[in-house]
Amino acid sequence: MAKNKFNKNWIHDHINDPYVKLAQKEGYRARAAYKLKEIDEEAKLIKPGQVIVDLGCTPGSWGQYTRRKLAGGKDGGINGTIIGLDMLPMEPIADMHFIQGDFREEEVVAQLDEILAGRQVDLVLSDMAPNLSGIPTADAARMEHLIDLAIEFSQQHMKPEGALLVKCFKDMGFTQIVEKFRTEFKVVQQKKPKASRDKSSEIFLLGRGLKHPADA
């Protein structure tokens, strides 16, 4: 009974959510686009000409927002490169490269390297989150693991002065994750956009400038 009540409450909140309505109106696949939009407008992350990688990009709202920011290239295309990676399939987005698979696997890395063609990445975005078990210690470990993967990816592919934006949760090993970011990045900021639901412990970490790039 309690579960049914929770589901009904969630559906009610979702239907009446102003960001859900706005996403439908503006053609975004998910309300998450507005989290990135708010962070980007404040931190000025996305700029024309950049190479941007979106980890865990499905369903694609972050890719849609990024594409709109880079619009204005030749023949109506974009000024820059967007690459999305996810283990789940994604409906195509114009001008966005999509690679389905685990970015730790050689085949996926080979596809990524082909698109990059020797270039380094300016910005890495990660909206990845683990499948939750309900066991706090296990969920915290899974979240930390995803953050580790995003940091490692950045160290391997990102410009030393680049930036990494990741999703975290305050109740999932957050203190350790912040410490890890401070070890790896010169500047670390916490971001809680208005589009993040008040009830959610979701928070975003932004790291700028790698202290330990792979080729250092």
> What's the N-to-C CA distance of the chain in angstroms?
57
Phi then psi for residue 66, to 5 deg, are -60, -40
Alpha helix (H) ranges present in the chain?
2-15, 18-26, 33-43, 61-70, 106-116, 136-157, 174-184
Determine whether the annotation assigns residue 17 to a binding site: no
Dist. CA 216–CA 214, nearest whole Å: 6
Selecting among 35, 167, 170, 191, the annotated active-site residue is 167
Has 127 been labeled as part of a binding site?
yes
Catalytic residue check, 37: no
Answer for the pair 191, 203: CB distance below 8 angstroms, yes or no: yes
Residue 62 labelled as part of a binding site = yes
Catalytic positions, please?
167
List, as residue ranges, the binding site: 60, 62, 86, 102, 127
List, as residue ranges, the binding site for S-adenosyl-L-methionine: 60, 62, 86, 102, 127
